[in-house]
Structure 1
């Protein structure tokens, strides 16, 4: 099945059906080792207070429960005045952050830490900006239809097809694509111009300079000693190369160390941000590191 077919199935049923039939079991399977007490708390629309699904994670630092609330939608999230418009969602978000979440097991109540907007459609850039800017001290996550369809294909496809009585045709799903290949394919579609420019820049650099730039794309700022250590060379051997890269406007340097210069090696900061977000969205935080993405695209 392709994304369009999956999303059509989801949009052809009610939101409540979608939550019970797909979203809850998908979360229970995909995030079984991270999320706890995944519940459909929004069945009673008079009591949902902006939250359809709740769950909690255990903080790795404090070991405390951190609660999350999901608002489930169908269709595009926009800046309009309808049910999927930013005005309605802002009201729901306000309700969600002030709602007490009861925990029967420890007889306590909690407030959500993060509000998640999940939809079968697109989440327009302006809508994202407006909701985040209205709640500057609150945490938001956005899961659009494309991401949702990818999760289903990766984790829940056989169950999904069974529930919708769809026969398995095998020819439309590339099960051999690795997580890294999936992330790289996404980035090459989303940041085509920047990646093309960065690749062209790499071809213009000699091998030593490529190694230096690679290190700073993965992590910056770095001092000359740290760069030399990471690429297995003497500090004195790379200082001349670093000076040349600064003169050529590939890198910039300040008291904290060296950086990839914004704009002169494509918009790498945007590609990096997109990679980190995509890794997080797909739940590969513990599996994929940025150096693997850099090497997969450019080296």
Structure 2
């Protein structure tokens, strides 16, 4: 899951799980993510028996644990519930017949775990009196689908060496690095806590923008990113993300200057932590060739 967590949710859905679902012989698999996605990243349909009616399924992808408890929530539970409600209202028009359909099942998929209380709250999005269902794919289910249907492509996509794959399976990856989660928690506890707090103040679209900027730090060592590079990373247009960019500016999380986007205010803590990880790994002679590990370490530690 560490490799998946280096991708934004839309890229993970489009690049990884659309081809996986097609290899599973599901029908009408289509990427629908975007600013007007109405709660669905991928849709497909199943044929009922014996009538062979189309029953549409929508999948919403998230990263990290989805939890709900008395101490608070993680991964924006209420936002997920709202997106689920939107998903059941989305009209799906048949190109051939013009018939309008609605999804009957929503799948909430995440690279982490989903606790029971979170499921109970999200399940309230089901439409009363309608034949609607919500099911869940956690990290184990996603890993199962990757291993069964797309493991060679997955290895090629991320450029995983055979030795790295074996280490991942044995959960020994982290132990081989001096700079790991334990090291950062012991030496930079204050900085890590600040970053976790900042992340929780953003919605998923705002976070995808910030996430792309963080990935750029690990790729280029620059704390700013050009608008064109940001749009390429997000695979989006400026119109689609304009509102979220303006919101981030109003929050004083980013600043814009002659086509460059810079970290600002409290979001600068995210940039600082990324540079801390780079500097520590360079000092330990671990950074070169392990940039993807550095990214996954950053996103894992601020979950």
Q: Calculate the TM-score normalised by the size of structure 2.
A: 0.50
Structure 1 residue aligned with 2:54, among 35, 57, 65?
A: 65
Deviant stretches of 4+, over 6 Å = 80-83
Query: What's 1:168 paired with?
Result: 162
Contact 1:39/1:55, CA 8 A, preserved across alignment: yes
| 1:77 Cα offset (Å) | 1.2
1:14 matches 2:8: yes
Query: What's 2:100 paired with?
Result: 109
Query: What's 1:123 paired with?
Result: 114
Contact 1:86/1:131, CA 8 A, preserved across alignment: yes
| 1:134 Cα offset (Å) | 5.0
| 1:83 Cα offset (Å) | 7.8
Query: What's 1:139 paired with?
Result: 133
Query: What's 2:88 paired with?
Result: 97
| 1:39 Cα offset (Å) | 0.5
Contact 1:73/1:117, CA 8 A, preserved across alignment: yes
Instruction: For residues 183-216 of structure 1, give each alpha carbon's deviation from its aligned partner in whole angstroms, at most 9, with x where no partner exists.
Output: xxxxxxxxxxxxxxxxxxxxxxxxxxxxxxxxxx
Instruction: For residues 110-146 of structure 1, give each alpha carbon's deviation from its aligned partner in whole angstroms, at most 9, with x where no partner exists.
Output: 1000011011111111101222245374301100011
Contact 1:121/1:144, CA 8 A, preserved across alignment: yes
In 2, the alpha carbon distance for the partners of 1:132 and 1:126 equals 10
1:51 matches 2:45: no
In 2, the alpha carbon distance for the partners of 1:161 and 1:112 equals 33
Contact 2:81/2:121, CA 8 A, preserved across alignment: no
Instruction: For residues 75-110 of structure 1, give each alpha carbon's deviation from its aligned partner in whole angstroms, at most 9, with x where no partner exists.
Output: 111227778232111111111111101221322221
Question: Number of residue pairs matched?
Answer: 163
Stretch of structure 1 that moved more, 99-108 or 87-96: 99-108
In 2, the alpha carbon distance for the partners of 1:108 and 1:102 equals 6
Structure 2, gaps ≥5 residues long: 170-303
Q: CA RMSD in A?
A: 2.3
Structure 1 residue aligned with 2:145, among 137, 147, 151?
A: 151
Query: What's 1:255 paired with?
Result: none
Instruction: For residues 144-178 of structure 1, give each alpha carbon's deviation from its aligned partner in whole angstroms, at most 9, with x where no partner exists.
Output: 0111012111221001001111123585799xxxx
In 1, the alpha carbon distance for the partners of 2:133 and 2:46 equals 15
CA distance 1:148–1:161, change in 2 (3 Å) = same
Contact 2:4/2:12, CA 8 A, preserved across alignment: yes
Contact 2:82/2:125, CA 8 A, preserved across alignment: no
In 2, the alpha carbon distance for the partners of 1:153 and 1:74 equals 19
CA distance 1:78–1:173, change in 2 (3 Å) = closer
CA distance 1:172–1:145, change in 2 (3 Å) = same
Q: Calculate the TM-score normalised by the size of structure 1.
A: 0.50
1:37 matches 2:23: no
Larger Rg: 1
Contact 1:26/1:152, CA 8 A, preserved across alignment: yes
